[in-house]
Structure 1
Amino acid sequence: MTVRNFYFFLVLLFCVALLNSQEASAQAKRRVIQLSGFVTDTTGAFLPGVNLYVPKAGRGTSTSRNGFFSLPVLVGDSLTITCIGYRPQSYTVPDDAKEFTSVLLEMSEDYQILPPVYVMQTEELFKEAVLALNIPLDNTGIDPKSMNAELMALMVKTTPMDGNANYRYYIEQFSTSAENKFHPIYNPFLNPLNWVKFIKDMKKKKKAAENRN
């Protein structure tokens, strides 16, 4: 490395350090705000599981089952608000925000309308397909096979969930996990009262079996 390149490297390093120090001082001058509030949809219903994120700071949070959130931010920070099924929103903390600021954020649903699909069939082929089914009907006009208990139970087990059911299941699991996060988990096998009840039941069953014999 020549002397000229060495001095050029020192000047470049000094400029980078100066810019970082100015940015750090600007960050230090910005006030810290405790931003709290609720997130709702257009009907006013609270939305759980909404993600609020500050990209520049790399921090964020999610709303509770009641749609509540609380997050420390700086004046001028821009929040990105996202949720499955809703359009992304953004919120910028105003310069005149108080130390404890409460807001009410509203999200609108994101509809995706797919192009329609038309299934066309000729009348002759449709009649042939219906006649080929050969469904045995009783006097009520209902196929008894379709009311079979085993078949209906199999349909319940194998029918996949739609988007709404998946969303509800995810939110229920998220809420349950958040509620039980700091709760102790009890083992029912370590409860002495359960063992006393179990022994009494076993004695009753044994005595009833002896009386039958």
Structure 2
Amino acid sequence: MRKLVLFLFLLLIIKAEAFSQDNSQMNQNLVQFSGVVVTTDSLLPIPFTSIMIRNSYRGTISDYYGFFSFVARMGDTIEFSALGYKRMNFVIPDTLSDHRCSLIQMLAKDTVLLKEVVIFPWPTKEQFKEAFLQLRIPADDIARAQRNLDSDQLGILGAMMPMDGNMNFKYQMEQQSSRLYYSGQLPPNNLLNPIAWSKFIQMWQNGEFKKK
């Protein structure tokens, strides 16, 4: 038992020492990376520049005066990107004697060429006047409502419907009454209704289906 306790105690000491060595080595690689982002032509500060460490989600943005400062590691690749400027990369040297690194990063403007647009004027004032008078001004809400509620148009649409409003209302009420009546139970199945079958056979013998 004593040997087991001694072994576990030595194992914990070795792990703690290795962990402290790793932490000290990581702390030695940390660098306070600071600087300012400016333009290449006039050295004006570029505000709100995105400054990120490649292949990570760590970074910061520059302030209104282009200044930035955050903690990075030696050998990290820093990516600078701003709207309207070309991307630039900077690798923090791994041979720094101090845990500080300063940089003045310059970004060049990214010029985007647009296609040429030619605006042609109207040939004469008379042609412009004629085209303006023939222009159809879109109707307002009241005019559209009056057009949609036209009696002739509503009559044509009503004639095309298989049932009128009164029939639709009665059908809807019958369906709702039937659902409430059979609520909580199975509705009747007309396939097993002998009265329905007798009516079907009688209609078939009378040839009513042929007429349809």
- Shared fold (TM-score, shorter chain, > 0.5): no
Q: Pick the TM interval, shorter chain.
A: 0.3 to 0.5
After TM superposition, the score normalised by the length of structure 2 is 0.45
Q: Which has the larger radius of gyration?
A: 2
How does the TM-score come out when normalised to structure 1? 0.44
